């Protein structure tokens, strides 16, 4: 299948964008570029994502104590710091060093809490189970299903108890229990894609909250799958030219599409 054909199908990232703001799907698809603000916070996001990709190696190398985990985590942090501009060369091209330095300090300050939470997870279950839930069988594979008319890229596919399941790395705050609603839908969509690609039912996935070093197992419910299909259809409709209702909120304050997003909603869009 060509790239052009893939573009016609909904992408899991578009489903998540829809949950934030349906109009961002509209403008992004029409090649109005949504450029990220390369702030220290955005660089923290990059660093935490790369750091989380090494958590399995940290657990493998470390003794099951917080002190040993922190030592290995610090070594992993140094690797990420040294390699970041190779991985994100385009994004970091014109960023001032003091912005990068601020991000590095902020992430370094998180290492102690991350080590504590990883250590607690090992005590609660065991080292092998923690490794199984986050070690990458495949990293960032492109998954597509013609039957689902959906494409997506999980952070990784992990092999847990002989089952292939999706893992997504999130760099925001971890909820006290379970996962955020958007993360649940993300795992559901990725699980459906993994099913289509491996030919086996996928009943759960994992969300790795990198900022705190917490791993949450997510059961995929029929309602989650139903919601994925519903939002996929709405995204398809937007890509066909339907302009959804304009939302007003904090997201608008930092939105790159503000200059375009002036058209008033129609009565029909209010029910969309």
Could you list the residue range(s) of the whole structural domain that residue 71 is in? Answer: 36-135
pLDDT band at 256 (very low <50, low <70, confident <90, very high): confident
For residue 74, tell me if it sits in a domain.
Answer: yes
Higher pLDDT, 152 or 245: 152
Higher pLDDT, 141 or 5: 141
For residue 68, tell me if it sits in a domain.
Answer: yes
**pLDDT on residue 4:** 47
For residue 95, tell me if it sits in a domain.
Answer: yes
For residue 243, tell me if it sits in a domain.
Answer: no
Q: Averaged over 222-247, what is the pLDDT?
A: 94
Higher pLDDT, 130 or 267: 130
**pLDDT on residue 45:** 96
> What whole-number percentage of the chain has pLDDT above 70?
91
For residue 82, tell me if it sits in a domain.
Answer: yes
For residue 226, tell me if it sits in a domain.
Answer: no
Q: What is the DSSP letter of 34?
A: -
HEC assignment per residue over the chain: CCHHHHHHCEEHHHHHHHHHCHHHHHHHHCCCCCCCCCCHHHHHHHHHHHHHCCHHHHHHHCCCCHHHHHHHHHHHHHHHHHHHHHHCCCCCCCCCHHHHHHHHHHHHCCHHHHHHHHHHHHHHCCHHHHHHHHCCCEECCCEEECCCCEEECCCEEEEECCEEEEEEEECCCCCCCCCCHHHHHHHHHHHHHHHHHHCCCCCEEEEEECCCCEEEEEECCHHHHHHHHHHHHHHHHHHCCCCCCCCCCHHHHHCCCCCCCCCCCCCHHHHC
pLDDT band at 223 (very low <50, low <70, confident <90, very high): very high
Token pair 């070690």: residue: 135
**pLDDT on residue 34:** 57
**pLDDT on residue 7:** 57
Higher pLDDT, 217 or 266: 217
**pLDDT on residue 255:** 82
Q: Averaged over 90-108, what is the pLDDT?
A: 95
**pLDDT on residue 251:** 80
For residue 83, tell me if it sits in a domain.
Answer: yes
For residue 245, tell me if it sits in a domain.
Answer: no
pLDDT band at 237 (very low <50, low <70, confident <90, very high): very high
The answer, yes or no, to whether residue 108 has pLDDT greater than 80, is yes
Please state, rounded to an integer, the average pLDDT across all residues of the chain: 91
Q: How many domains does the chain have?
A: 1
């Amino acid at each position: 299948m060509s790239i052009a054909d893939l573009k016609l199908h909904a992408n899991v990232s578009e489903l998540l964008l829809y949950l934030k703001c349906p109009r961002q799907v509209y403008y992004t698809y029409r090649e109005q570029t949504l450029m990220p603000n390369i702030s220290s916070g955005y660089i923290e996001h990059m660093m935490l994502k790369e750091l989380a990709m090494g958590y399995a190696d940290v657990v493998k190398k470390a003794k099951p104590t917080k002190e040993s985990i922190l030592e290995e985590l610090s070594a992993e942090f140094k690797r990420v710091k040294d390699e970041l501009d190779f991985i994100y060369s385009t994004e970091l091209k014109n960023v001032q060093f003091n912005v990068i330095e601020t991000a590095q300090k902020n992430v370094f300050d998180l290492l102690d809490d991350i080590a504590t939470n990883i250590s607690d997870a090992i005590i609660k279950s065991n080292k092998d189970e923690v490794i199984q839930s986050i070690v990458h069988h495949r990293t960032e594979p492109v998954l597509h299903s013609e039957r689902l008319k959906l494409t997506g890229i999980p952070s990784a596919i992990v092999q847990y108890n002989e089952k292939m399941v999706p893992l997504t790395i999130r760099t925001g705050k971890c909820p006290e229990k379970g996962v955020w609603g958007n993360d649940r839908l993300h795992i559901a969509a990725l699980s459906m894609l993994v099913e289509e690609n491996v030919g086996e039912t996928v009943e759960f996935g994992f969300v790795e909250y990198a900022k705190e070093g917490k791993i949450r197992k997510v059961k995929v419910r029929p309602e989650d799958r139903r919601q994925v299909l519903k939002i996929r259809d709405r995204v398809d409709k937007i890509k066909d030219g339907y302009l959804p209702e304009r939302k007003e909120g904090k997201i608008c304050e930092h939105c790159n599409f503000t200059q375009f997003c002036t058209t008033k909603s129609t009565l029909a869009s209010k029910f969309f």
